Structure formats: structure tokens, C-alpha cells
Amino acid sequence: MTDSFDVVIVGAGLGGIQMLHQVRQVGLTVRVFEAGSGAGGTWHWNRYPGARCDVESLEYSYQFSEELQQDWEWTRRYSSQPEILRYIDHVVERFDLDRDIRYHTRVEALTYDERAGRWTVRTEAGDEVVARFVIMATGCLSSANVPDIAGRETFAGEIHHTARWPKQPVDLSGKRVGVVGTGSSGVQAIPVIAQQAEELYVFQRTAAYTLPARDQPLDPELRAAVKADYAGFRARNSAMPTAGLSRYPTNPSSIFLVSAAEREAALEYFWGLGGPLVLRSFGDIMSDPRANELVSDFVRGKIRQIVRDPEVADLLSPKQPIGCKRVCIGTDYYETFNRPGVHLVDVASAPIEEITPDGIRTAAGSHALDVIVFATGFDAMTGALLGIDIRGRDSLSLKEMWSAGPRTYLGLGVPGFPNLFTMTGPGSPSVLTNMLVAIHQHATWIADCLQYLVDHDISVIEATHEAEDAWGMHVDEVAGKTLFPSCDSWYLGANIPGKKRVFMPLVGFPAYAKTCAEVAEGGYRGFALTRP
């Protein structure tokens, strides 16, 4: 007999495990399927040297349990991957979550049976279960992008992707290592790999802005102060556009209202605070290209000060507007290029042509390598969802429906796909926020919605086409007022060959959270609700 559940959750990252806990509180039966061998998602897969979060640990943590947030002691301003994974393991154990999770189980297909009002969930092994509701917690950044470079299979050494890093430590000492990619993953890995490897070749296609993290041990007084009013701290962070860093100043005024000396002083001050805070130094950085250019130029000046070789400094200096691609937060990134044995290879002017048994050959020459590290990112936001054959009403395929780019209502529901929720889906703020806040808001909204459906004896909830159309226009309109769509980024899907260019996340967390709350209070307007 096929197992049947009220709810199936796909994915056991930070999103899936919070969702599991909250679905249980509604009193529904639930099963979680996770492709990996353990819980943690991002923090299970991304074990590369130097991996850590770039949202402060006091914020990059769960808020659904006051006892949990009081008990757990973060040790640093930004937590490392092993520390976050220990935290996740603790949460799984503390809330007894493992008994409802099936690991090593990739979901391959989801098919809606309209007559029965049930989803059939098929795993890669061919097993099937049925469920009334399905919650996709498959992650925005979980589908690794491995570039299709000719000759990959001929390489005699080891190849690793940062997002599929082995559990066993990879010994890089005395080796010639090539890192392809200089986004956030590359920027974190490169300084640590440089300390271990004999020679490091960094293959850079686009220079990214790297702002100093200024990581440090967490100040016990700060920790105690936050814990004294954690609820207030969370509420203040949720009121910020990116759902975080409320304890730091924000200057909303225009960069053009101050003198050059005042501008420089303000930028120095925010640069000194660390993390992405330099983007808070003036109010028009993400909306006015001329304001943005002044800040971009300030950071390029910093690069020139740090990197001794002017040619290398020039290559490391980004040309696109700052913040348009996600800024990277690093430690000793630019300083690393002053080390002997670290070589920057410009693959914008001379692209990678092939991988040979000995290394990487670009249009300008060959580089002998023992290990290749792909820090080449993800098929973001839609990759994991479309990796599953999802069929809604009348066998409608999500892949076909999204062939011109993803369309949702609130980033939570899709017309034609009843009783299917997409956590941190396209059209929600997700990756433009502290994702733990986005996850909390979605898990709570979905759990409240399930409770409402149970209480009101509603069997089917489905986003309407009208709501989806209006929402798509809203997401585009908000993005259009910013500089986000002005360069090639994974927010737009521009990093994946052939992917339709659509700006996928919604800018601005507080307005979004308010809308979601109003939708719920209004009896889930924009969704069609059906009684049996």
C-alpha cells in the first residue's frame, strides 16, 4: 500500500526543518525527503575551505523557539560552516525531527491527481507516497552550476565544486590548485586555499566587489544584550529592507547633498563597520547610477591601495555597478593576491577553452594543475524546482509554464498547481534578505494557512491567474526602480546559458511581509479556496 501523508516537504535545509516543526504543530502528518545524507542543505553541501555565513550569527539563526535562541551560544560575528552545521544538528535533535526525514532520497516527480485532490511524490528509487499538500523547500542556491567545459572527464587530478565539497578534508598542501569563479564562494575559498596550496591560479571572468567582513569573536556583552530582548531585536531586523543589521546606522540621504570630503568620511566609516554596510552609507546607491559610481569608485580605490601590482589591482576592480551582482563579503581576499604563488588569470579576455589531463588551457596559454575547484555558483531560484518533473492540473508541467521565466503569486503559490507551496520561491524577497528571516516568514505563513484550511474544512487552495499576473508586474516594477537589473547576475538567471532573463526575487522585505499578512487576514485573497 502506498504511504499517505497530509504534507510532504521536499528538502531538509534550514527551510525544510523549520517547516517540519511547524507542520507538526498544526497536527498534520508529514514526511520530509532530502537528497543529501544529512540535514542542513547549504551547510551540508558547501564544506569548502573558508565557508561561513555573511549575515551576522545573532541574526542568521532561528527565531521560532525562544528557548533555542537563549540556549545556543554563537562564537563569532559570522559563523563558520562547521558551526552552523552543529547548530542544525542540535535543532534536529532538540525537536526530534529526524524520525520524519528520509535522507538519501531525491524526489524526481510530483503529479497532481485532480480527482483525488492528492499529489503523488515519486523518488529517484521509484518509491511513491501520496500527500494532500506539498511544500517545496528545495533551496534557492542548491542546484550547483558545473560549467560544461570540454575535456573535463580527461583531467588526471581531482575536480571539486564548492557546493559538493567532500565530507573528508581535501588535502591541498603542496598542490597546484585552480579555482574557477570569483563570486562569494570563490572569494571565501581563495584566501584559505592560498595558505595551503603550493601554487594557486584564480580564473576570473568577472571581478566582484568584495567588502571586508571584519569577522571577530562575538562580543559576550553584545550577545547578552541581544538575548535580553531577542524578540525586539528580531522585530527591528524584520523592519529593515533586507531584513537585517538594524543595530547599525543607515543614511537615507543622497550622496549629492554632501561635499567630497564628507562623502569620503562617510564611506570610510561604513567601510570600517564591515559586511555590506558600505551600501548603507547613502540612500541613492541602488537607485541612481551616478551615486552608485561614486561608491564603486571608492571600493576600486581600496583595491588599488591593497593590491601591490597595479595590473592585478586593475583586473580585480569590478566594472559593473556595486550591489548589482550580490556583493561578496571576504577576509583578506585582495591581500591574497600579494602572496607569492597566487596568480590571477583573466578568462574574460582569454576564455577557458578546455580542460586537459594536465590542467586548464585558456585562449592565452596552459596552466598545469593537480586540483580544479569550481566555484561557479548555482542555477539559482528555479534550478532545484525545475529539476523535479512537477505536473499540476491537466498534467500541466511547471517547466513549460515557466519557460518564459518563473511566475508565482507571492513567491508562494502557482496557478494550476493546487496545494503546492514554494518556500522562498521566485517573486519573494528570499535571496535579497537574511534568508533565515525569509524562511521564518514563509514557514509561519504556510503553517498558519494550513491551520486555516483545516479549521475551515477547505480541501484545495490555488493561486489565481489574476493574482499571479498582478504579482509578476509588481515584482518587475519594484526591481525596475533599482539598479539590480542593470548587469548580468544570477538574480536574473544570466549565469546559466539559455536561461530566460527575468529578475526573480522581490526587492524589499517589510512591504512584502505586510502584504502576505493582509492576504491571510483577508481570507487568502488571490487564492481560490475549494471545499470538498
Whose CA is closest to 197, among 372, 70, 346, 323?
372
Candidate segments 83-91, 101-109, 177-185, 305-313, binder of ligand NAP by CB under 6 A: 177-185
Q: HSE (CB half, 13 Å, CA atoms) of 437?
A: 30
Min CB(437)–ligand FAD separation in Å: 8
- The nearest distance, CB 340 to ligand NAP, in angstroms, is 24
Interaction between residue 347 and ligand NAP (CB under 6 A): yes
**Residue 205 contact partner, candidates ligand NAP, ligand FAD, none, CB within 5 to 8 A by sort of partner:** ligand NAP
Alpha helices in 30-73 (DSSP H): 42-45, 66-71
Which residues are CB-neighbours of 174 under 8 A, at least 6 positions away?
197, 198
Give the separation between CA 23 and CA 517, rounded to whole angstroms.
Answer: 19
Three-class SS state of 215? coil
Nearer to ligand NAP, 181 or 321 (CB): 181
| Binding flag, residue 184, ligand NAP (CB under 6 A) | yes
Question: Taking a C-beta distance cutoff of 8 angstroms, is the pair 263, 255 a contact?
Answer: yes
101 secondary structure, DSSP code: E
Q: Which residue number, 181 or 418, has a Cβ lying nearer to ligand NAP?
A: 181
Separation of alpha carbons 298 and 303, rounded Å: 9
- Write down the least CB distance from residue 395 to ligand NAP, Å: 33
Number of residues that bind ligand NAP (CB under 6 A): 26
Contact code string over 44-83 relative to ligand NAP, x by CB under 6 A: ---------xx-----------------------------
Nearest residue (CB) to ligand NAP, 44 versus 326:
326
CA distance 234 to 325: 27
Rounded CA gap, 106 and 138, in Å?
A: 10
Outline where 143-259 has alpha helix (H).
Answer: 184-196, 220-228, 230-238
Distance (Å, whole) CA 113 – CA 116? 6
* Binding partner selected for residue 106 from ligand FAD, ligand NAP, none, CB under the kind-specific 5 to 8 Å limit: ligand FAD
317 binds ligand NAP (CB under 6 A): no
Of 69 and 376, the one with the shorter C-beta distance to ligand NAP is: 376
Burial of 269 (0-12, 13-18, 19+ CB in 10 A): middle
139 binds, among ligand FAD, ligand NAP, none (CB under 5 to 8 A by kind): ligand FAD
Q: Which of 52, 263 has the CB closer to ligand NAP?
A: 52
What residue ranges bind ligand FAD (CB under 6 A)?
10-16, 33-36, 41-42, 44, 46, 51, 53-55, 60, 106-107, 137-142, 163, 185, 384, 387-388, 424, 434-435, 439
Which spans of this chain sit near ligand NAP (rule: CB under 6 A)? 53-54, 141, 147, 180-186, 188, 203, 205-206, 326, 329, 347, 352, 375-378, 431, 490, 495
